[in-house]
Amino acid sequence: IINVSSLDRPKVLLMGLRRSGKSSICKVVFHNMQPLDTLYIESTSKPVEEEFNSLIDFSVQELPGQLNFFEPDQYIDSDRLFQNVGALVYVIDSQDEYLNALSNLHNIIEYAFKINPDINVEVLIHKVDGLSEDFRLDTQRDIMQRVSDELVDARLDDGDVKLNFHLTSIFDHSIYEAFSRIIQKLIPELPVFENLLNVLCSHSLFEKVFLFDVNSKIYVATDSSPVDNQTYEVCTDFIDVAVDLDNLYENGSDSKSSENTLKCVSKLQNGVTLHLHQMVKGLALVGLIRKENGQKMALVDYNVQVFREGLERIWGINKK
Ligand code: GDP
């Protein structure tokens, strides 16, 4: 029986047919594996559960595609499985014939919805790197239409089932973007964070700020200005550089000290300055400043510190 000890953690369940890309997604997003290296990983053949402790303590449970949920099974208690799930992520290989996947998805939605009507169903139309721009949109339209027709037939119209579609690939940032949106829905404090980040932007020089989970590079919150892909990519690359630099000098310093919070600032050729400040719970604040003003930099640091203290208070973390 799958361990459901972590009842209060929002759980993300990753499902899909064999070879749809579930293990690869887990490895790339949560274990920093290079996308090309996923060519050689073994397909999932038994249920795996992994936990991640960051802003929310969420766990990702990956299930092998060939399992049949609708027959009594010695390994899986399907009812309990769906009860505690915040998001059901279903991966469809868009480069392959997907009709089988759609009927499997439909069965799962019907089953899961009966047990947990609040479940968020997130469909990843995956491996879109192999499709042309036009074909991606056609595929998305076709899949959305078919899923919605089936739901209407089953009298589960889209309005009842919370259903979202994402075009993804592990070879670009789309998979992180999709997971960011999926995870954000599971964070009860999200409006508070967004508000705090808006206040931070308006009182500092930041043009855009993200609160990132450093390990997965999923952003768990951002201010309310629109997210543009390039900015997001620059910020994630900056996290990599900052973490690498930090690791380089880690041995020499007392890295376990709680006072030791990483801060990294870098000025790009186009005049934009990137700021990274380590927060609590494996998070980092990454912000972008276009017009630097030397005098105001102390203010930025001060405001970031106030923001960090705000986070600590929200979680009742006592620094001492
Ligand atoms: P699983 O059985 O669902 O766990 O599938 P795997 O993770 O083993 O993936 C099956 C194959 O799909 C592997 O060879 C991966 O390299 C490949 N794959 C996964 N994601 C992508 C993607 O975004 N694009 C492409 N082109 N291939 C992918």
Ligand 1 geometric centre to CA of 20 (Å): 6
Atom of ligand 1 nearest to the CA of 126: 23
Which among 152, 184, 216 is the end of a domain?
184
Question: Which CATH number do you get for residue 30?
Answer: 3.40.50.300
The pLDDT value given to residue 52: 73
Q: What is the ipTM of this complex?
A: 0.98
Pair 67, 208 in one domain: no
| Tens-place pLDDT, residues 77-87 | 667 778 878 89
Closest protein CA for atom 26 of ligand 1: 127
Pair 160, 208 in one domain: no
The pLDDT value given to residue 130: 92
Which among 132, 151, 184 is the end of a domain?
184
Pair 177, 216 in one domain: no
How confident is the prediction for the chain on average, in pLDDT?
83
Pair 195, 301 in one domain: yes
216 lies in some domain: yes
61 lies in some domain: yes
The span from the CA of 247 to the CA of 13, in Å, is: 32
Closest protein CA for atom 17 of ligand 1: 21
* Cα 61 to Cα 57, 156, 265, distances in angstroms: 13, 25, 36
Pair 175, 195 in one domain: no
Helices (H), 185-228: 190-203
DSSP string of 221-233? EE-SSPP-HHHHH
Pair 51, 171 in one domain: yes
Pair 99, 240 in one domain: no
The pLDDT value given to residue 222: 94
The pLDDT value given to residue 5: 43
Angle at 119 between CA 115 and CA 124, to 5 degrees: 125
Domain tally, the chain = 2
Cβ of 103: how many Cβ atoms within 10 Å?
A: 12
Which among 160, 184, 208 is the end of a domain?
184
Show the domain range for 289.
Answer: 190-314
Q: Which pair of tokens denotes residue 226?
A: 């629109």
Atom of ligand 1 nearest to the CA of 170: 23
Pair 155, 76 in one domain: yes
The pLDDT value given to residue 31: 86
Closest protein CA for atom 6 of ligand 1: 21
Pair 66, 168 in one domain: yes
118 lies in some domain: yes
The span from the CA of 176 to the CA of 92, in Å, is: 17
Which position has the token pair 């479940």?
119
- Are the C-beta atoms of 72 and 105 separated by less than 8 Å? no
Closest protein CA for atom 8 of ligand 1: 43
The set of protein residues with a Cβ atom below 6 angstroms from ligand 1 is 16, 18-24, 38-39, 41, 43-44, 65, 126-127, 129-130, 169-171
Task: Give me the amino acid identity at 227.
Answer: V
30 lies in some domain: yes
242 lies in some domain: yes
Give the chain's residues under pLDDT 50. Answer: 1-6, 255, 320
Query: By C-alpha distance, which of 60, 116, 115 is closest to 91?
Result: 60
Atom of ligand 1 nearest to the CA of 16: 3
Pair 162, 48 in one domain: yes
Task: Give me the amino acid identity at 139.
Answer: T
Pair 17, 164 in one domain: yes
The pLDDT value given to residue 207: 92
231 lies in some domain: yes
Pair 74, 222 in one domain: no
| Tens-place pLDDT, residues 35-69 | 898 888 877 677 788 777 666 666 777 777 666 66
User: pTM of this prediction?
Assistant: 0.84
Q: The dihedral of CA 232, 236, 241, 243: what is its sign?
A: positive
Question: Which CATH number do you get for residue 280?
Answer: 3.30.450.190
The pLDDT value given to residue 102: 93
Which position has the token pair 């979202």?
164
1 lies in some domain: no
319 lies in some domain: no
